[in-house]
Structure formats: structure tokens, C-alpha cells
Amino acid sequence: MKFTRWYRRFAIEGPEKGIEALLFTLLLPASLVYGWVGRARVWFFRKGWLRSYRPPVPVVSVGNLATGGTGKTPMVAWLLDWAQRKGVRAAVISRGYGGRRHDGVLTVCAGNGPLVSATEAGDEPWLLASRHPQAVVVVGSDRVGCAECAVREHGAELLLIDDGFQHLRLQRDLDLLLLDARRPFANGRVLPAGYLREPASARQRADLVILTRWHPGVKLPATLDDAVRARHCLGDRLRGLNGELVPRDAPQGRAAAFCGIADPESFFNQLRDMGFRLEATLVFADHCDYSPAMIDQVAGLAENIDFFLTTEKDGVKLADTDLPRPCYQVPLRMEFVSGQDRLEGMLEGLLNKDGQAMPLSKDLLEILACPQCKGEVHCNEDQTAILCDHCRLSFPVRDDIPVMLIDEAQSLPGGSAPGE
């Protein structure tokens, strides 16, 4: 854990003098290679050399540039609440970090609460399923398969990709990029010399940038002046490990806080800002599974305190844990300071009155023609391609835009190669 905390400080704030500066210099070439590989991958997807899948329903991606800790889960929870208000059946597609590895597809929730344990699903998917039982939650390493399962088997009308900014195999209609307002681009470097998965310039792919943990004292670069501003707020009620809800001011006295999340200090500072008296804090690895030894570490803090505080993400893995003092989970929700109307307008634009994907315009289809034979074309059933029956060619549709280029065409069964 000491190494994890040191590396987070090193990668976000930059190196100190001496050995850290030398290490930073040694890591820079690896960061350059990492950044080039990332750019090449994006370019391959844009050119169509790496294939992507277009689901038949609207897709919203929630992601970030940093390796974690920007508040994706509260954002996804906000989107689920929005979809419920609109009467739209939404599905969360997640890798399921912290759970057992699933090479296939695992349905965590089909609209009636969690179907599997948090250990199997992963803490964040299980938390979303528990707090939003009306939603569909599907996890697995094959997120294309997850998307197909959510639509075909569970009737999803809107897909939410959790941590999807770099997952380009799934095409999306709206790309939401979350940045921590306190340090939007960390030290400006990609892994391993920095904390970014992609160079800061990758933000240009986003349809909307949302600055989380914003407060009036934050100084932002001019390039982020038009970003939406949001903050994470603690809920008005705390939840015991048994699920019982109590007012936030009910626990009195001294507290110890513990968690296994990407940005623990932010959580502890929020607790202090809300008036909790923290006598001790304990940090574990992100997405950790609590072993008996770790539980003993937590219990060891009980002598001088009256109660424990932890995050909901940690609490879902502690339901059957017996601690010597009461333990309360602190709910976290997303609250927009500015730009909520912009976001809701973009979401509304994805849906028609029935909550389904907006079809390609008939007027557009009437003016399109095959670039090879100049004949009529039509779209396939799920509107992912434009077809020419005469030439037996298929032209891709990307971001709702038909790409009518011979170089982009694929031959249909029984057809000749494009250009012949």
C-alpha cells in the first residue's frame, strides 16, 4: 500500500528532486511508447482496420483519462436515475473490476435486484445493481457480448458503458469524459511516468467533458472553460452494514474511516468537511477483497472510537462482517454545479418518444447512392451498414453517418471485391 500511495503522488504531482527525478527520466521513453501505441489504436479504429460494433440502441460511454478516482460510478448512477425518470430501460455494461474474471457474459441484475454476489460481480456493478434494482447490469471482458446480451435478452433501450472511453470496440452515441477538476491531467504524462491512460489531447474525442470534485477555488486551464462542472456530495443518510438507514448526524463521537478506493484522501477530507471527527484512517488497495487479516486491521482501530465509516463500494463486501463498533456506509452522489441542462439535452437527443434509437432519415437514404454503380442503397436491420444489392457491397455507418467510400466497403456474400 505504501508503494501505491507513493506512486499515485509521484504520477499525479510529478517527481521530487533526486532519485524521483532520475526515475521519471528513465520512465519517459516507456511513456512515449505507451502514448504512441494508444494513438495508433485510435487511428486504426477510425480507419476501420480494427472493427467496432454498433448496437441497435443508443449508447452512452462514461470514462476518464486517468487510471481511476474521477467518480465514474456516481455518474453512471445519475444516468440510471435519469433513465428511470424517462421510463427508459437502461443497462450498464462493465468489465466488473474487483470481481471474478468473466471471459463471457454475466448478468448481475435483470431488473429485479442483484442475482449474484459482490465477489462475483465486482463491487461497483453490484452496488449499481443493489441501488438501482430496476436496471440491467451485465459484466464481462467481452463488452460487445455484454451489449448484445443486454439488448436481446433483457430488452435494454439504452446502454451505459462504465469506464468506456478507451473501449472503442463498442461504438457510442455520446462520449462523456470525466476529469478531476483539482488535477485534470495529473502531471501531463501517460503511464508509467504519469497517471494518464492516454495523452491529454485525447479529450478531443469526448462529446462532453465533465469536471468532477469541482469547487470555486479550482484553477482550470483555458481549454476546459466550457466543461460541465460537478461535485460529489455525501448522502443525507448513512447505511449500516445490515442495510439499515440512519440520519447522517445520528452517529455521535469519534470515528475511524477506512476504504479501498482510488482516491482515499478525497473521501476522508469529505468526511471531515461534513463534521465527522476522524481519529484514525486506514487505506487498502482499490477494489480489494477484505481478508480476515484486513478485517482484523480495521477492528484494531476500535479501542478509541465510537463507530466506523466506509464507502458504499467497500460496504457491499462487508455485509456479513462482525466489527466491534457500528459501521456505516457513506453514500456518494453526483451533483451538477453547471451544465446539467446541456447534458440532459444531449441525452434527450439520443431518444425519440419511444426511447429507441433515432433511425437514419428516409430523406438521407433517398439521396445516397452506391459510389461504384451509382444505384440505390438501403440500410440493414440494425442500421449499422448501408447495402448495395447490385454490387453486393456493405458500407459502414459510424456515429450515425454513412461512410460511402469504396475503400471502406466490405463485400457481401456472393459479391466481388470492392472496385472490381
Q: What string of DSSP letters covers 153-167? A: TT--SEEEEET-TT-
Length of the chain: 420
Strand partners, 237: 247
CB 234 within 8 A of CB 270: yes
In sequence order, the 6+-apart residues with CB closer than 8 A to the CB of 349 are 358
Answer yes or no: is 243 a known binding residue. Answer: no
DSSP string across 38-64: HHHHHHHHHHTSS--B--SS-EEEEEE
| Selection from 32, 69, 42 nearest residue 192 by Cα | 32
**Going by C-beta distance under 8 Å and a sequence separation of 6 or more, which residues neighbour residue 61?**
160, 161, 164, 165, 167, 170, 172, 174, 175, 176
Residues 6+ apart with CB under 8 A from 259: 267, 282, 283, 284, 310, 311, 313, 314
Which residue stretches of 98-189 are H helix? 118-121, 123-131, 143-152
**150 contacts 158 by C-beta, under 8 angstroms:** no
Residue 66 annotated as lining a ligand binding site: yes
Instruction: Please name the amino acid found at residue 170.
Output: L
Helix (H, G, I), strand (E, B) or coil at 18: coil
Q: Is 72 annotated as a binding residue?
A: yes
Residue located via cell numbers 447512392:
369
Q: Is 281 annotated as a binding residue?
A: no
**73 annotated to a ligand binding site:** yes
408, burial (CB in 10 Å: exposed 0-12, middle 13-18, buried 19+): middle
C-beta pairs of 320-326 under 8 Å, 24+ apart in sequence: 321/241, 321/290, 321/295, 323/241, 323/295, 323/298, 323/299, 324/299, 325/256, 326/240, 326/251
Is residue 35 marked as binding? no
Q: Is 70 assigned a ligand-binding role in the annotation?
A: yes
What cell was used for 46? 477510425
* CB-CB contact of 137 with 109 (8 Å): yes
Cβ-Cβ contacts under 8 Å for 330 (sequence gap 6 or more) = 234, 235, 238, 267, 271, 309, 310, 311, 312
Binding residues: 66-73
Binding residues for ATP: 66-73
